[in-house]
Amino acid sequence: MAKTGVIGAGSWGVALAVLLHRNGHEVCVWSRSIQKDGTDRLREKKKQLSDLLGAELPDAIDFTDDLRAAASDKDVLILAVPSPHVRNTAAMMRGMLPEGQIIVSASKGIEESSLRILTDIIGEELPGANAAVLSGPSHAEEVGRGLPTTCVVGARDKETAQYLQNLFLSPVFRVYTSPDMLGIELGGALKNVIALAAGTADGLGCGDNTKAALITRGIAEIARLGIAMGGRAETFYGLTGIGDLIVTCASVHSRNRRAGYLIGQGCSMEEAMAEVKMVVEGVYSAKAALALSQKYGIEMPIVEQVNKVLFEGKNAKDALRELMLRGPKGESGGAQW
């Protein structure tokens, strides 16, 4: 049995807490949101999460508003706060952790100001930590209900990756390992931007053909950038690339697809985010994705149009038309006649 701390009590953090509990591990969950109202707020929070997951949260999972209590003396920490809060949350843990503390990033995003992936941010704020990443096509609602799911854990050394693989592995949660942390994180962050486009197309009344085109050309954009940055091609055509992209573009659980749908229906970005009522990671990653494409000289037309719709007030229908009317090209730049 491992002693684990889950930092962040959103749906994904709690789904992982439930998974770890079912695997026989000790689990403590930190929630900032229960600090003000104490016991009443905790009771409300647990009911909301139980409703979301379709099951009562086990009493053995401890919830606390004390970050030190959740983070100290743990074999593994899972950092599951929204990506914009990763740096601040990691900084709050300075002085609480031993050298070599394993911290698993379970969030997906790229920091807009630095263009850094989240495990790099953890390393900057907590230099002695052993940062790893867990990612893949894994909606919290389905993981919490025990529906079969597959993910990938990435780490800097094989021993850590295999340790974490065994920590999370269960009859309904299959885990693979990979050394390509950069590729895993880029796939997880950038697919949210493409999912906004896919949702927008749904909101405009487009069909399955359009969805397939956006998924296929979207993974081409992600892979081009990821490989240019040093990621491995096979990562982008695996679970944390095309797998995560498919589920986020198509699922009713996807907040990014839902926000995009509302935008396609005529809502502004701000109105869509307010309606979704959860953090829409793709909105925070879109500017970073565009900046990275410019930095590395990579053509990413879908990402470019998403940014114009989100931040420049461009009409979604005009953005789709512009994508369709781009100059004729071959499908694969490396293919020879």
* Closest to 85 measured CA to CA, from 16, 197, 195, 9: 9
Say if residue 327 is exposed, middle or buried (CB neighbours under 10 Å; 0-12, 13-18, 19+): exposed
CA distance 311 to 337: 41
Q: Phi and psi for 77 in degrees, rounded to 5?
A: -110, 135
Can you state the angle between helices 208-229 and 301-311, rounded to 10 degrees? Answer: 110
- Write out the DSSP string of 104-149: EE----B-TTT--BHHHHHHHHSTT-EEEEEESS--HHHHHTT--E
Burial (0-12, 13-18, 19+ Cβ within 10 Å), 100: exposed
Q: Which two tokens stand for residue 29?
A: 């969950």
Amino acid at 314: K
Give CA–CA dist 316/18, Å, rounded.
39
Which tokens in the block code for residue 292?
């990275």
Listed residue (184, 289, 281) closest to 239, CA to CA:
184
Among positive and negative, which fits the CA dihedral 274, 279, 281, 284?
positive
Hey, how many other C-beta atoms are within 10 angstroms of the C-beta on 141?
A: 16
Q: Hey, which residues are catalytic here?
A: 191
